[in-house]
Amino acid sequence: MELNVSELAVARGGVPVLEGVSFSVSAGEALVLRGPNGCGKTTLLRTVAGLQPALSGVIGLEREAMAYAGHSDGIKAVLSVRENLQFWADVFGTGTIDPALAAFDLHGLIDRPAGALSAGQKRRLGLARMVVTGRPVWVLDEPTVSLDMDAVAMFAGAVRTHLAGGGLALMATHIDLGLDEARVLDMRPFKAKAPSIDDFDGAFL
Ligand SMILES: Nc1ncnc2c1ncn2[C@@H]1O[C@H](COP(=O)(O)OP(=O)(O)OP(=O)(O)O)[C@@H](O)[C@H]1O
């Protein structure tokens, strides 16, 4: 299993934000995207995960291999922690939710409606969803928002277990996860250039 991205160009709201992005992530590896606010990390992750089309370039892996966790936690407020995870385990046909509960220390909250969880607990539940998908490629956008230090360590542990099982991870984060083995890709060199103006007068009309 390998995620090969080649010469990818992506846009948000019709405006090109990144171009010429190429990287590979092999089984057992994590790649962290770094760059200032607004540089296009979310846009790139959404494109790789198949949620929006690329302007150009190649993503050499089918989207069925991927599980995506974005800014929202993707949980149903009226369902309990157990019901939320069981729902996704059924959707992905993976069965057991115990490893996900253990990875994010959710056993003590199992019967609580997700809507009654704290922000950090909701985030842990949202990330536990990644475990129950059983998918090999985790695409994660700012996964540690709302997490305290212990929960960040829990998340790093879950990523390590995923990598050790042959999975891979692509993520954007502004904080140090303590995942020293992760490679880092600086997005700044890939900033899309403004299109050249052929018609100088027309640019003012
Ligand atoms: N719905 C939208 N319509 C138009 N432009 C958008 C939209 N959403 C985001 N943008 C713009 O697209 C650019 C890339 O945004 P993106 O969210 O990919 O950046 P980011 O690197 O993930 O930022 P952050 O670190 O703040 O999360 C930014 O300039 C942003 O203002």
Q: Is the CB of 41 under 6 A from ligand 1?
A: yes
Q: Is the CB of 16 under 6 A from ligand 1?
A: no
Please state the pTM of the whole predicted model: 0.92
Q: Is the CB of 37 under 6 A from ligand 1?
A: yes
| ipTM entry | 0.93
Classify residue 202 as exposed, middle or buried by CB count within 10 Å of its CB (0-12, 13-18, 19+): exposed
Q: Is the CB of 13 under 6 A from ligand 1?
A: yes
Closest CA to 145 of 117, 169, 177, 114: 177
Give, for ligand 1, the residue of 33, 39, 52, 174 to mutate: max count of ligand atoms closer than 8 Å to Cβ: 39
Note the pLDDT tens digit of each residue in 43-69: 999 999 999 999 999 999 998 999 999
Residue nearest to atom 8 of ligand 1 (CA): 12
Domains of the chain: 2-195 (3.40.50.300)
